[in-house]
Amino acid sequence: METKRFEANDLKAAATLLRQGELIAFPTETVYGLGADALLPASVKQVFAVKGRPSDNPLIVHVANFEMVKDYVDKFHPLTEKIIKNFWPGPLTLIFPIKKNSLDPIVTGGLSTAAFRMPDNKITLKLIELTGDPLVGPSANTSGKPSPTLAKHVAHDFNGKIAGIVDDGATKIGVESTVLDLSGEVPTILRPGAVTQNDLQTVLGVPVELDRHLVKESETPKAPGMKYKHYSPDTPVLMVKPADWSRAIAWAQQENKKFALLAGPTIIEKYQTQAAAIYKYQNDSIEAATHGLFDGLRELDEKKAVAVILAQTFPADELGAAYMNRLKKAAAQNYFTSNT
């Protein structure tokens, strides 16, 4: 199969392929999504097959406007209108209980709820409008591997396997959306993202819970990205706390391990001469780290001679909660310690 590249002026052709049941990767402000018409179960099944994704893992339904959601949901949380007004379009996915049989179980993972998002990307919103149906859109990467923030990442995993890729350059944020469960009484974050717990509580004026439960392989998650291990390159990753960098470098050298550094400029400049490979975030901020995390994991993973990636940690608050959520799963929860 030829995987075509589409740009903003080619969206009608891309939408036609989606209506015909083909898979088209699309950009969002978070990461690239692997798109299929959400109302074509055979196409959605192909998403699972191409990604190698467990079929119990629910998919996010991407819509062009809130009116599209009403086709599948008839009972909304009382705070829904305020949330939509303040955070859509944007990096916030909302989980609602859905009308019976309104979406195929292949989309919902067999659950009575579904996840919806209106991405903040004009090209993709237009693509959804032209298709005429909502699109499922899990991250456009091989299941369990780092998510794609560039079209070339999608091509690396799926060239020759999907019909096309809509290229809109680098994504703005770099990690997947916040997932907020509105199917119960108390709004609960199931996956942290750029919309933080504090952002939501400030706007809503009510407590918002943060679910820290790690879903095991035998469990069915309520939202994507809840597995214990996820976003993982083939190369082992070790998280390094700020006070442990000199010991981590000394350990790698004693063990004769060729190591890579995934960090901001301050750490890179101090230790880069000892590293076999580096990926330097644009600056030392959590925003730069979040934007570069998946690209860095992918780039360093391709350095096949590297035995381990040593990755910078940040405080797990605000945007740092999203960064650390992804990094912990990429590292299978493993920090460098004196016992490593």
Per-residue confidence (pLDDT) for residue 74, from 0 to 100:
87
CB 164 within 8 A of CB 157: no
CATH of the domain spanning 237-330, picked from 3.40.1160.10, 3.30.1960.10, 3.40.50.11030, 3.40.50.300? 3.40.50.11030
- Ordered by start, the domain boundaries in the chain are 4-210, 237-330
**Domain made up of 4-210: CATH architecture:** Alpha-Beta Complex (3.90)
CA pair distance 240, 271, nearest whole angstrom? 13
- Number of other residues whose CB lies within 10 A of the CB of residue 317: 13
Which portions of the chain are predicted below pLDDT 50? none
- The whole-number pLDDT of residue 225 equals 62
Tell me the C-alpha distance between 331 and 309, whole Å.
9
- pLDDT tens track for 219-245: 666 776 665 557 789 999 999 999 999
Distance CA 319, CA 313 (A): 12
pLDDT in tens, 119-161: 999 999 999 999 999 999 999 999 889 999 999 999 999 999 9
